[in-house]
Amino acid sequence: MLEDDRLFKLEQQNARTLLQKPNLANPSKMFPTQVSKHGESQTCQYHQPQTQMGPLSKEIQQFAQDLLKEKGLAKPDRQRAISQAYFAFQKAAQVAKRLQDNRTRSLAYGYLGQLYEQEQRYDEAMRLTRQAIFFANHSHVSHSNQDQVSLMSPVSHTLYRWYWQLGRILKTQGHLEQAIAAYRLASQNLKPIQNVLDLGYRIPQGLFEQVIRPVHYGLADLLLQKAETIHDEQTQQRLIKEAINGVELVKVSELQDYFDECLLALQSKNASILDHPKLQQELQQTAILYPIPLENRLVVIVSVKGKIHMKSIPVTADKVNYTAWDLRLKLQTRPHNRFLLPARQLYNWLICPIETLLTDNQVDTLVVVPDGKLRMIPFSTLHSGKHFLIEKYAMGLTPGLTLVDPQRIPWDNDNKILLVGLSDAVQNYPALPNVKKEVQKIQDIAKNRALSNIVFNKEFSINNFRNQLKGNEYSIIHLATHGEFDADPEHTYILTYTEKMKMDKLQEVIGLGRFRDKPLKLLTLSACKTAVGDDKAALGLAGIAVKAGARSAIATLWFVDDEATSVAMTDFYQQLLTRGISKAKALQEAQKKLIKIRRYWHPSYWGPFLLIGNWL
């Protein structure tokens, strides 16, 4: 036994010498030291618990990661390294067999399978991967007890990895049904890792893109492929919904991770808006647009009158994301109309395939659930060649199908509005001279419909803001002040007169009214902006309503001309409070008004306004 162990380590060292990068990967870094919600420093050792993993298992895992990360070897050196790695893994499997260490056997066979997968030797890769699954299932915690497995257990980790590997191999070989089954098992075994968020941990950088997204999106890809070949409508609808559910797992986890906040309580209260029975009447002229950019195609899913439709467009996710990024940059440049090219291209991909369906069903409102870089752009600015999308449809946005509770709320005389404005130049931010006129006009519009209080300039402090919310049940909070949304929540804030109110503080203060009889119906941020090119920053914008406990939020993707903002906001409230139309249609009317004013035609003036959450 000792001799075999020595030989394993010798061959391991030989292969590492060829790789020239020993000790590149440390498995324990998968979940490094984190700070919990309570401010305590903790190490989440889900990936490799010290008590459940022997020294040999650690060696195998680190060695495999070193080898599989290395892409720059010349072919002969790589072949020698793979040959010696094969010998080392085989020796490890023999040692583990004698030790009755099924976990180590699973790792050895699994990484051998991955080597063969990379070399496109799929039959051997499949045989070894199945062995890895067998021994993972027969390690010290049985698969049948997965629901009871501790989050710190390595079992789900190895199972998701090998089921995912098996799914990739089967997909490559064209076995669609078997690949779907394997991906489903990978998805199920990945969920305990995602549940680490419930403990208040932030997911390590890269885990979404390298693990969570490819597993769930890989399953969605296969399910949608199958749905395209199915003629039975009921089966097709079921497959599309299952694909959407997988994508939703990623969307909700991203939002959880961004805010370091568990959103499952909200999620459990809200059914998907695709399955909400009470919503069907309200949705008669509303379409839910759900684009899914995949590696080799864009799938545009749209739900109209309770039926889901799907169109596949042969354009890669990379191209869609690049075009969205290009549009975002050009939208903010006013002297020219170069934005029209990417705006037209995205219209052709996202709207043209479903336009006849929308027209035939007399749709007048589009609710978008964006993905990836599409979160950075306002869909209202997409252009047909003749008109902007907002000129035809009212628009709403939601970060996820279960993260919104759409219901029509009457604007009665019991409503209260808090109008907060900061017009002075403070903390190196420019003055907003039209803010005073903006809040006064809104107060005039609301005077026969709601009571309103104004907090202005020096009065706007965190303490005064908190006191206003402690003593009043506001239906609307309107914040006309600078705000920044960044990929890092710590750098996301709104500006008060003397300090910056970060997202956690905003949530804490506004959340004071979350459990009152009258919930906050609308939160408006009329002078904020997000980082250009950063879809993670857009997460903060999309999640603001969820985080603050508001049913809806209006915010801007980039800083808007002060005067144009004042025109748009006053017209929005005029439409909302006097005509009794939906928030989406009220915002549409305000944006259309700006389009008709020649100096404000360019979407840099009206485009960044987004309605997030309850659009009714």
Domain ranges (residues) in the chain: 2-33+40-204, 270-397, 415-611
Q: Does residue 555 register a pLDDT over 80?
A: yes
How far is the C-alpha of 302 from the C-alpha of 290, rounded, in Å?
A: 6
182-196 average pLDDT score: 82
Question: What pLDDT, on the 0 to 100 scale, is given for residue 528?
Answer: 82
How far is the C-alpha of 43 from the C-alpha of 31, rounded, in Å?
A: 7
How wide is the angle at C-alpha 544 spanned by C-alphas 540 and 546, nearest 5°?
120
Q: Which residue has the tokens 């509303």?
A: 286
Phi, psi angles (nearest 5°) of residue 501: -95, 110
Q: Does residue 571 register a pLDDT over 50?
A: yes
Helices (H), 270-350: 317-331, 340-350
The residue ranking higher by pLDDT, 112 or 281, is: 112
At a CB cut-off of 8 Å and minimum separation 6, what does 532 contact? 328, 329, 332, 376, 558
How far is the C-alpha of 426 from the C-alpha of 365, rounded, in Å?
A: 39
Q: Which residue has the tokens 């993707």?
A: 557
How wide is the angle at C-alpha 335 spanned by C-alphas 331 and 339, nearest 5°?
30
How far is the C-alpha of 117 from the C-alpha of 113, rounded, in Å?
A: 6
Q: Are 219 and 243 in contact (CB under 8 A)?
A: yes
Phi, psi angles (nearest 5°) of residue 203: -70, 135
Q: Which residue has the tokens 């094969």?
A: 86
How wide is the angle at C-alpha 144 spanned by C-alphas 142 and 145, nearest 5°?
75
Band of pLDDT at residue 13, cut at 50, 70 and 90: low
Q: Does residue 29 register a pLDDT over 50?
A: no
Average pLDDT, the chain: 81
Q: Which of 7-11, 565-569, 585-589 has the lowest mean pLDDT?
A: 7-11
Half-sphere exposure of 38 (CA within 13 A, CB side): 4
How far is the C-alpha of 559 from the C-alpha of 552, rounded, in Å?
A: 20
Distances (CA, A) of 333 to 209, 285, 375, 600, 602: 31, 34, 19, 13, 9
The residue ranking higher by pLDDT, 499 or 71, is: 499
Q: Are 530 and 488 in contact (CB under 8 A)?
A: no
Question: Coil, strand or helix: which one is 479?
Answer: strand
Q: Does residue 493 register a pLDDT over 80?
A: yes
The residue ranking higher by pLDDT, 368 or 77, is: 368
Question: What is the SS3 assignment for 262-282?
Answer: CCHHHHHHCCCCCCCHHHCCC
The residue ranking higher by pLDDT, 188 or 96, is: 188
Question: What pLDDT, on the 0 to 100 scale, is given for residue 382?
Answer: 98
Q: Are 47 and 27 in contact (CB under 8 A)?
A: yes
Q: Are 415 and 451 in contact (CB under 8 A)?
A: yes
Q: Does residue 80 register a pLDDT over 70?
A: yes
Counting every residue, how long is the chain?
616
Band of pLDDT at residue 205, cut at 50, 70 and 90: low
Return left, alpha or beta for 580; rule: phi > 0 is left, psi -120 to 50 is alpha, else beta: left
Q: Which of 206-215, 269-278, 305-314, 320-329 has the lowest mean pLDDT?
A: 269-278
Q: Are 334 and 385 in contact (CB under 8 A)?
A: no
Q: Does residue 301 register a pLDDT over 70?
A: yes
Q: Are 509 and 466 in contact (CB under 8 A)?
A: yes
Phi, psi angles (nearest 5°) of residue 103: -65, -45
Band of pLDDT at residue 211, cut at 50, 70 and 90: confident
The residue ranking higher by pLDDT, 350 or 39, is: 350
126-153 average pLDDT score: 67
Query: What is the dihedral sign for C-alpha 557, 562, 565, 569?
Result: positive
Q: Does residue 14 register a pLDDT over 80?
A: no
Q: Does residue 239 register a pLDDT over 80?
A: yes
Q: Does residue 328 register a pLDDT over 80?
A: yes
DSSP string of 416-433, one letter each residue: EEEEEE--S--TTPPP-T
Question: What pLDDT, on the 0 to 100 scale, is given for residue 265?
Answer: 42
Question: What pLDDT, on the 0 to 100 scale, is given for residue 470?
Answer: 86
Under CATH, domain 2-33+40-204 is a member of which superfamily? Tetratricopeptide repeat domain (1.25.40.10)
Q: Does residue 27 register a pLDDT over 50?
A: no
Question: What pLDDT, on the 0 to 100 scale, is given for residue 153?
Answer: 47
Question: What pLDDT, on the 0 to 100 scale, is given for residue 61?
Answer: 63
Q: Does residue 136 register a pLDDT over 70?
A: yes
Q: Does residue 333 register a pLDDT over 90?
A: no
Question: What pLDDT, on the 0 to 100 scale, is given for residue 509?
Answer: 84
Band of pLDDT at residue 454, cut at 50, 70 and 90: very high
Q: Are 542 and 397 in contact (CB under 8 A)?
A: yes
Instruction: Give strand pairing partners of 524.
Output: 478, 554
Question: What pLDDT, on the 0 to 100 scale, is given for residue 579?
Answer: 86
Q: Does residue 162 register a pLDDT over 80?
A: yes
Q: What is the CATH number of domain 270-397?
A: 3.30.420
Q: 143-148, long-range: CB within 8 Å, 24+ apart, which pairs? A: 146/188, 146/189, 146/192
Question: What pLDDT, on the 0 to 100 scale, is given for residue 197?
Answer: 47
Tokens of 534: 């950063």
Q: Does residue 590 register a pLDDT over 80?
A: yes
For a pLDDT cut of 90, what percent of the chain falls above it? Answer: 48
350-357 average pLDDT score: 98
Looking at the structure, give the CATH architecture of the domain made up of residues 415-611. 3-Layer(aba) Sandwich (3.40)
Question: What pLDDT, on the 0 to 100 scale, is given for residue 517?
Answer: 66
For a pLDDT cut of 70, what percent of the chain falls above it? Answer: 74
Question: What pLDDT, on the 0 to 100 scale, is given for residue 21?
Answer: 37
Question: What pLDDT, on the 0 to 100 scale, is given for residue 85?
Answer: 76
Band of pLDDT at residue 142, cut at 50, 70 and 90: very low
Q: Does residue 484 register a pLDDT over 90?
A: no
Tell me the per-residue pLDDT of 494-536, one tens digit each, with 9 for 90 and over.
Answer: 999 999 998 778 878 887 655 566 778 899 988 888 766 667 6
312-333 average pLDDT score: 95
At a CB cut-off of 8 Å and minimum separation 6, what does 468 contact? 418, 453, 455, 474
Q: Looking at residue 383, what DSSP letter applies?
A: B
109-126 average pLDDT score: 91
137, containing H or E segment: helix 122-137
Q: Which of 348-352, 420-424, 451-455 has the lowest mean pLDDT?
A: 451-455
Helices (H), 368-494: 435-446, 462-471
Q: Which of 25-29, 194-198, 573-577 has the lowest mean pLDDT?
A: 25-29
